[in-house]
Amino acid sequence: MTEDRSLEAFRDEVRAFIRESATEEIREAGRKTTSVFAPFKQAMAWQRILADKGWVAPSWPQEYGGTGWSLEQRYVFAQECNRAQMPPILPQNLQMVGPAILGFGSDAQKEELLPRMLSGEDFWCQGYSEPGAGSDLAALKCRADRDGDDYILNGSKIWTTYAQHANKMFALVRTSSEGKPQQGITFLLLDMGLPGMEVRPILGLDGAPEQCEVFFSDVRVPCANRVGEENEGWTVAKYVLEFERGGSTMGAWLVPAVERLREQCEQVDELGQRRLDDPVLARRLEALEIEALAVEHTEKRVNAGLKHGQNPGPMASLLKILGTEVMQRFSELQLEVTGLRSLVYDPGALEIGAAPSDFSEDELLAMPYYMNTRAASIYAGSNEVQRSLLAKAVMAG
């Protein structure tokens, strides 16, 4: 009981902070987020505000800027940010490269890079995938050859989200073709815009340049920018995946999102009708809410297990599959609810600060969100790969 009460007090504190500190522009960006990647400028502005408060990296160790919150508090924080429709913090700094440096970085790297990651002074992009190596990262070919105290990079990277906004990149590169493919990979840090580097944005299905391709032609990177040992980048990458153990908060997004969709269905339209009075739609909303709750409580159950020292193991794959697929079903129902009013393609109206359009934000968002969300079952290890991992782990007993 005491624990619940203190958690509710914490919830009130989070709510009050959001209410007082989020600017109108940041709120607009949160509402107009059609992806897991919020509009860049406002997401970084919100990151700065959270960093100043000391709340930006709940999962980091406290000595490096973490909050020291319990897993329950972290979940409450995520719930309240989502309920207030704040733009999600871009994961590259705090959930991807940060843990790599925390786990394997040199003291000099930690001292120089971690504070700039938290504040958002640096923005990092992820150079993992390549045209021939998506979910199969061991197949990556982008080469780093030793030349004195430098590596020389040749090759390309793809699906580097927001590379056009980044000033830094963390990359997995091939330093050896001997032994198992995973064994010749090295984790490197580099500045964007080095001579020989080129960034090409790729338009997505929603018409937005969220992804990029990055080309390297004899790009020189000092060996001091390596994280961990040469040829042991795979170990660093795996550590990053495990760092966020219990960090999955998809349910904290889904549950309020379903609530908002229900509110949309409760509105009376120009003919005096409510969509919610359609019994078929009402049932489908109920079913979606159950799915969202299944995600939330599976996440909380995994977190509860962690407190007792259990390892999430195959549950990490389960959470990836479950969370992303319920998110996709949510996007389908949202699109159906919006119906004919979601046909219009008007990307300009989704820009932050755009003059009000003839169509509401809900109407403009449904289609791009539906399109963009198809990527959820592809990114971060496709759901096919996750299912294979899950089956293998569980069948073995």
Partner 1 sequence: MQYQYTAEQQEFRDSLRRFVSDHYDYERHRQRLAKGEHFDAGLWQQWAELGVLGLALDEEYGGLGSGLDDMMAVAEELGRGLVPEPVVPVVAAARLLASIASPAQAEALLPSLVGGELRLSLAWEESASRGNPLVVQTRVKDGALYGKKCAVLGAGEAQQWLVSARNEQGELLLLLLAAQPAGLRRYVMADGRAAGDIQFDGVPVDDSAVLCRGDAAERALRQSVSESLLLMAAESLGCIDSLLSVSGEYLVTRKQFGMPLAAFQALQHRFADMFIAGEKLRSLLWAAFQQQGREGFHRAAAQLKVQLAESGRYVGQQAVQLHGGIGMTDELNVGAYFKRLTLMELMAGQRDDHLAGLALAS
Residues that bind partner 1 (CB under 8 A): 129, 132, 134-136, 139, 158-159, 202-205, 207, 211, 269-271, 273, 278, 280-281, 284, 332, 335-336, 339-346, 358, 367-368, 370-371, 374-375, 377-379, 382, 384, 387-388
Q: Which of 132/222 has CB closer to partner 1?
A: 132
Q: Which is nearer to partner 1, 200 or 260 (CB)?
A: 200
Q: At closest approach, how far in Å is the CB of 46 from partner 1?
A: 26
Which of 285-291's residues contact partners 24+ apart within 8 Å by CB, and which partners? Answer: 285/258, 285/261, 285/333, 288/258, 288/261, 288/326, 288/329, 288/330, 288/333, 289/255, 289/258, 289/262, 291/254, 291/326, 291/329
Between 137 and 258, name the residue whose CB sits nearer to partner 1: 137
**Closer CB to partner 1, 108 or 271, in the complex:** 271
Q: Please, what is the minimum distance in Å from the beta carbon of residue 135 to partner 1?
A: 7
Closest distance to partner 1 from the beta carbon of 45 (Å): 27
| 8 Å CB contact between 186 and 199 | no
Q: What's the min distance (Å) between Cβ of 147 and partner 1?
A: 31
Closest approach, Cβ 332 to partner 1, in A, equals 8
Q: Interior CA angle at 80 toward 75 and 81, to 5°?
A: 100
Considering the complex, state which of residue 44 and residue 169 has its C-beta at the smaller distance from partner 1: 169
Cα-flanking dihedrals φ and ψ of residue 261, to 5°?
A: -65, -35
Q: Which residues contact 118 (CB under 8 A, 6 or more apart)?
A: 51, 56, 57, 65, 93, 94
Is the CB of 207 or the CB of 222 nearer to partner 1? 207
In the complex, minimum distance from the CB of residue 336 to partner 1, in angstroms, rounded to a whole number: 6
**57 within 8 A of 66, measured Cβ to Cβ:** yes
Smallest distance from partner 1 to CB 367, Å = 5
Closer by beta carbon to partner 1, 77 or else 234: 234
Q: What is the dihedral of CA 252, 255, 257, 260, to 10 degrees?
A: -130
Calculate Rg over the CA atoms of the chain: 22
239 sits in which H/E element: helix 233-243
Distance from C-alpha of 316 to C-alpha of 297, rounded to nearest angstrom: 14
